[in-house]
Structure 1
Amino acid sequence: MSDSLTIRRRSSRSYGAAGDAFKKIHNGRGLIAENTQHRHERMKPGEFKRVLFLFSLCCVLFFVYLYWQQSTSIDTSRIIYSYRHTLSKQKFVGHPNRLWNLKNVTLKTHPPQWTWQCINQRCERRHIKGAIPVVSLSTCSMLCGSTQLWPQPTGPVTLGSRAVTFNHQQLELETAASEPARSLLQQSFMAFNSNVISLVQSKDYLERSTDIKRLVVRVNIAQHNVVKLKLDTSESYTLVVKPKDDEVIANITAKTFFGARHGLETLSQLIWWDDYDKTGMLKILKSASVKDNPIFPYRGLMIDTARNYMSVESIRRVLDGMAASKLNVFHWHITDSQSFPLVSYRVPQLAKTGAYGPDMIYTPEDVRALVEFARIRGIRVILEVDTPAHAGNGWTWGPQEGLGELAVCVNERPWSLYCGEPPCGQLNPENVNVYDILEKIYRDLLELTEERELFHIGGDEVNLECWAQHLQKSTTIMNYTDLHDLWGDFTLKALKRLEAANNGNKVPLVIMWSSNLSKRPYVNKYLDKNNIVVQSWGASQWPDTPDLIADGYRVILSHVDAWYLDCGFGRWRETGEAACDPYRPWQTVYNHRPWQQLHLNKRQILGGEACLWSEQFDESSLDARLWPRAAAFAERVWSDPQLDTTTFTIQEDVYTRLNTHRDRMISRGLGAEALWPTWCVQNPGMCL
């Protein structure tokens, strides 16, 4: 397999006066040399050197001017990117590093037995016989009834009823965008191209004729300098697909790169593989119009890689799935009491003593590469090192280095007295060295992610009994009649250290998990509503979320009874109850619409986040735990479709679109769970 990137520049450049000057110099160089010789006979040695110096300086300045002219012209020219990906012997599946060799695969040549007809906006299966038209299910689904887009766009959508065949080598991207947006767009186009190639199911399809000669993607971005995603960044886009002679032109217009990237994703969803046409071809709708903009600016997915380590490759798959579903925040819960796999520049002892093994770590280079991988896909990364609880292994080296006990209750037994699950561990609030280390960690996290608007400080499930037992012989406990105040003081000190790590500037929005500290009366005493955002994870029936909104706080919703994707797999320890049973199927995830059901002020809701804690899975089952349930969540926070609040019945359209999206993710290399039997896929509406 070989990849190449062809860049062609369209521009008309003129050197103007400088070019005329160059011609004069070039044509008159003999005369200059002759005059110089005569002058040399009359000049003193010092004067001759000065003349040569001035002449050399003029030449240097002239070539600098030419270089500047050329660079300026390139920045403002229109550039066409054409990404070539050869499929001679191998099929591209999912991620570029995953290849499936087709040399020894025996292709099934049995003729198709079924065709699908569009009847009453639904594809109905028929036996192929007589003169009945032969239409594949994929083509019928794309041309009959509902759009197959996921998440459903928020604006008007018009889709044509005809399609044309093409191949991926006919794809071209035209853009006049300047740097820095141009480079991101180029890389995003490569990801788009790879997604298209992932649909291909025949190694020799490039040899077949196509209906068009070029599929041109023209992207117009208004704000070229916006290359970091913020809450107020526009993610809107308009996509218009139309035929022109022997080409199809896809025009994407967006205010920022992030909107343009979403436009590319939507365009990729208007492309499919038809296994009937010429025994297999790529197809695209001949005409389409989509206007789209997300409802919520924060559409997050949290993955815990501390309980069980996940490889960098598996995290890339998570980000690919997020991009396909237009989720835009990857909340990486990277440490916990079980392990500390993050290698810190400033505090290397944490990973050295806290990682499960030398091969189960995340280096700074790993993190930076994932941050950039995510940004190309329209995703920002937030790293969370939870404090003061959920901090044990990795924090035990303090006494050996003369820093005292950095954490207490580490691996304490019986664990049920000091934490919610084994092993226990909480930072020592009375050790001043703890705050010095936190400042160093915070500085690392800010530098690694380059994220300066949002920061997650943790704050989850502090066990006051742990502190009470540790501090009972200390004078510190005498200062507190309520250890919630000790917790509040720890939080204020940690926030000060975060500000110091951010070069003396407050991070605009600091996220904390909901807890006793975010309840009355402590919340108003310790948490500044102008600076703190609470991630409300309790059950939707709990008063936490309505109370926070009533008190004027902004929230991110992660209700455990709907958007915790790790629940329902039984208990993993002999004692204690199973964690948050029952299982949350995709329908439960999709139907959760708390702003309507709880009558919440939507203006104070930044968005939502689905959470996946990793006590009972690792990367071998990561994909199936996430998809397609996280995709169901994604549509809820992107377009927030209406619900029938009396029956909570989900329309047939949602089932068929989500199944199409699930197949799309499978083609991209994600191991998404099946929604239902294949018979239901082939007989739309019959299983509902």
Structure 2
Amino acid sequence: MKKNISIWLLCEAILYEDHKRGLRMKHYDLKRALLIFSLFCIIFFVVLFWQQNSSVDEVAQLFPVYKKVPLIRKERKLSYQPQWHWHCNGKHCERQRITAGVPAVSLWTCSMSCGSTQLWPQPSGPVTLGSRTATFNHEQMVFKSEARDPAGTLIRHAVEIFKNKVLDYVQDVNYTAHETDVGKILVHLHVRLPDVAKLRLDTDESYHLTVKSKTKEIYVNITANTFFGVRHGLETLSQLIWWDEYSKNGMLRMIKNASVKDYPAFPYRGLMLDTARNYMSVDTLKRVLVGMSANKLNIFHWHISDSQSFPLILPRLPKFAKVGSYSPDMTYSPEDVKDLVLFALVRGIRIVIEIDTPAHAGSGWTWGPDENMGELAVCVNKQPWMLYCGEPPCGQVNPDNPKVYEVLETLYKDVLDMTKEDELFHIGGDEVNLECWQDSLSVATQKKYGDFHDLWGDFTLKALDSLKKANGGKVIPYVLVWSSNLTKRPYVSKYFNKSNIVVQSWGSSQWPDTIDLIQDGYKVIISHVDAWYLDCGFGRWRETGDAACDPYRTWQTVYNHRPWIQQGINKKQVMGGEICLWSEQVDETSVDARLWPRGAAFAERMWSDPALDMNTFSITEDVYLRLNSQRDRLVAKGLRPEAMWPQWCLQNPGMCL
């Protein structure tokens, strides 16, 4: 609205300046100018009124106008004569020398119609892909949806995102001048439940995608119960499109006939990123979300604070970031968080912020005495650090100070307000050092607790009560906690209500923790350190103390981890899984390579959970080829994932395995 007022004032200013300069106009010219100006203003306000009333839903009003992007953002015309082309022998694409009189087929075109589906993650339901393909240009795609808001607005944004994905493939700015095989591609998007605008654990994310061709037209239908299913269908449709560099120096090409029925194996498909050890910009976080959406991951677990830094600006408690951030420009404002939440939502992702307590709370928690709140944390920067925490600097919340629970209530309220996430909430709760408390707390507390696990448990119950108050007196349906000594027997049943506490089990898959929790009736999110910790394998970052969790977790290790089968775990109590990237040795310059393509391997395990050879744990060639294709798509989106193998292996399918 401010922009609209500014335009009006600009018009007024122009007329005023003309008058000031004493410009003389004939009476007729003046009347004509005023008439034109009046018509302009009437049209302007009619358009403004229409825009203001075109959306009746609160969710729709949250979104800014989608910014148009340049149709072609890069140019890489084929400026050489290719030497190779590929021929499908029924199972593999074989590389051959280009010879006169033999039509040259690009590797992408051969791969998309030879053996493998090239879809990632592999769909859960039946897939039928035709072998016939057609060239087209992006201007020929027409999208249609009758969904009312809020799904209607979400779909419009998802369509713009889809268009950008298609444009990411384009490498020739002039390609639209070439004749295509089709005249129009009509994409029809159907949503049965248009009122569903928030992602929840019971949200139906399934979809049915069909592609049919008739003469010079292609008809695409994506049908789903919710917007989130439609979004996933668009993601799959984008994988049926590629850039064929051999066709007229480069053309977009797509499969002409297809049917895909698809749905996720788990409702919780998470990626955890730590931005406390090393700060990462909002743009970097958006890049992570882009990679997640391409792989149908749906939970971004944001470990936003730790003992090293507290970069989140809390509106009601600004001192946290003021004393806890590395610098004022290494912070996340409430506006940043809200922007990321909306950016994630239209990509089928929700954001869960974790502010870890009572451990991992040093920087940011030291302002209490200045505000007459007492010591909010103890053991901050205490030495020798290895006696009081797992890594420097140390720091734990002070359970002796009753003001702490008031601070937690306010802190939780700010997080709830910023994220609007009221179904899942992560309170941390791992790696409490009891020696820290024993050396720091009052004599009365020392006498009261013979076992400081009970002090830890009482703190957790009070923190949960603070969370309930922050949520208007309502219990959060699923409160997430890290596995710890407190989630072991006999403490777990004493302090954690299995009806709404979900334990994120991060210990080794060989430990009994996960199995014990499931046997005791708790729901779990699996993040086993020996399979799904992506920061491991880079050696120690300091000379003393344990910090390395070698070896490196390869994408094959990530992919092969299937504990609900390998360990006989009741799959119904596994809410899902989460890969974790702690940032002691990673920042925004290396985050892409640490996450991808390993994160994509994890995503397929969570989405369709394909069967494994339990005897050899060997991975089929199809998986290698499909994952490499997905890696190439991530590169096209501007990400920088790790290489999987020498390019020779890509050009010679079946020769490296």
TM-score (norm 1): 0.86
- Per the alignment, in what secondary structure is the counterpart of residue 319 of structure 1? helix
User: Relative to structure 1, is the Cα distance of residues 284 and 601 closer, same or farther in structure 2, using a 3 angstrom cutoff?
Assistant: same
Q: Partners in 1 of 2:67 and 2:367 — Cα distance?
A: 51
Matches within 5 A, 1:257-296: 257-296=227-266
Q: Partners in 1 of 2:247 and 2:67 — Cα distance?
A: 25
Query: Contact 1:83–1:190 at 8 Å: present in 2 too?
Result: no
Q: Partners in 2 of 1:71 and 1:683 — Cα distance?
A: 54
Say whether 1:488 aligns with 2:453: no
Q: Which residue of the other structure, out of 502, 513, 519, is the alignment partner of 1:533?
A: 502
Letter in 2 for 1:670: L
Q: Which has the higher mean CA deviation after the structures are superposed, 108-117 or 530-539?
A: 108-117
Q: Partners in 2 of 1:226 and 1:316 — Cα distance?
A: 24
User: Relative to structure 1, is the Cα distance of residues 222 and 463 closer, same or farther in structure 2, using a 3 angstrom cutoff?
Assistant: same
Partner residue in 1 for 2:314: 344
Q: Partners in 1 of 2:447 and 2:373 — Cα distance?
A: 23
Q: Which has the higher mean CA deviation after the structures are superposed, 344-353 or 236-245?
A: 236-245
Q: Partners in 2 of 1:575 and 1:395 — Cα distance?
A: 26
Letter in 2 for 1:156: P
Partner residue in 2 for 1:551: 520
Query: Contact 1:330–1:382 at 8 Å: present in 2 too?
Result: yes
How far the C-alpha of 1:73 sits from its partner, in A, is: 13
Partner residue in 1 for 2:286: 316
What's the CA shift string for 1:4-53, capped at 9, x where partnerless? Answer: xxxxxxxxxxxxxxxxxxxxxxxxxxxxxxxxxxxxxxxxxxxxxxxxxx
Say whether 1:570 aligns with 2:539: yes
Query: Contact 1:83–1:169 at 8 Å: present in 2 too?
Result: no
What's the CA shift string for 1:567-617, capped at 9, x where partnerless? Answer: 000000110134211100000000000000010000000000000000001
Q: Partners in 2 of 1:666 and 1:548 — Cα distance?
A: 40
Letter in 1 for 2:522: Y
> Number of residues paired by the alignment?
602
Partner residue in 1 for 2:24: none
- Per the alignment, in what secondary structure is the counterpart of residue 252 of structure 2? strand
Partner residue in 2 for 1:651: 620
User: Relative to structure 1, is the Cα distance of residues 581 and 72 closer, same or farther in structure 2, using a 3 angstrom cutoff?
Assistant: closer
Q: Partners in 1 of 2:576 and 2:56 — Cα distance?
A: 42
Matches within 5 A, 1:188-267: 188-267=158-237
Q: Which residue of the other structure, out of 579, 594, 606, is the alignment partner of 2:563?
A: 594
How far the C-alpha of 1:210 sits from its partner, in A, is: 1.2
What's the CA shift string for 1:90-143, capped at 9, x where partnerless? Answer: x42xxxxxxx5x5xx7x5522111110000311000001133221000000001
User: Relative to structure 1, is the Cα distance of residues 486 and 85 closer, same or farther in structure 2, using a 3 angstrom cutoff?
Assistant: closer
Partner residue in 2 for 1:77: none
Q: Partners in 2 of 1:565 and 1:676 — Cα distance?
A: 19
Partner residue in 1 for 2:116: 146
- Per the alignment, in what secondary structure is the counterpart of residue 638 of structure 2? coil
Letter in 1 for 2:249: T
Partner residue in 2 for 1:378: 348
Matches within 5 A, 1:108-507: 109-471=79-441, 473-507=442-476
Partner residue in 1 for 2:581: 612
Query: Contact 1:511–1:534 at 8 Å: present in 2 too?
Result: yes
Query: Contact 2:147–2:190 at 8 Å: present in 1 too?
Result: yes
Q: Partners in 1 of 2:102 and 2:425 — Cα distance?
A: 60
Partner residue in 2 for 1:39: none
Question: Following superposition, which runs of at least 4 residues in structure 1 exceed 6 angstroms of deviation?
Answer: 70-74, 81-84
Q: Partners in 1 of 2:261 and 2:241 — Cα distance?
A: 18
How far the C-alpha of 1:72 sits from its partner, in A, is: 11
Q: Partners in 2 of 1:186 and 1:71 — Cα distance?
A: 13
Letter in 2 for 1:347: L
How far the C-alpha of 1:401 sits from its partner, in A, is: 1.4
What's the CA shift string for 1:545-585, capped at 9, x where partnerless? Answer: 00000000000000000000000000001101342111000
Identity %: 63
Unaligned stretches of 5+ in structure 1? 1-62, 75-80, 93-99
User: Relative to structure 1, is the Cα distance of residues 270 and 108 closer, same or farther in structure 2, using a 3 angstrom cutoff?
Assistant: closer
User: Relative to structure 1, is the Cα distance of residues 661 and 260 closer, same or farther in structure 2, using a 3 angstrom cutoff?
Assistant: same
Query: Contact 1:151–1:325 at 8 Å: present in 2 too?
Result: yes
- Per the alignment, in what secondary structure is the counterpart of residue 198 of structure 1? helix
How far the C-alpha of 1:669 sits from its partner, in A, is: 0.5
Q: Which has the larger radius of gyration?
A: 1
Letter in 2 for 1:141: S
Query: Contact 2:592–2:640 at 8 Å: present in 1 too?
Result: yes
User: Relative to structure 1, is the Cα distance of residues 552 and 202 closer, same or farther in structure 2, using a 3 angstrom cutoff?
Assistant: same
Letter in 2 for 1:549: I
How far the C-alpha of 1:83 sits from its partner, in A, is: 10
Query: Contact 1:341–1:354 at 8 Å: present in 2 too?
Result: yes
Q: Cα RMSD (Å) of the superposition?
A: 1.9
TM-score (norm 2): 0.90
Say whether 1:514 aligns with 2:483: yes
Q: Partners in 1 of 2:67 and 2:123 — Cα distance?
A: 28
How far the C-alpha of 1:170 sits from its partner, in A, is: 1.5
Letter in 1 for 2:294: A
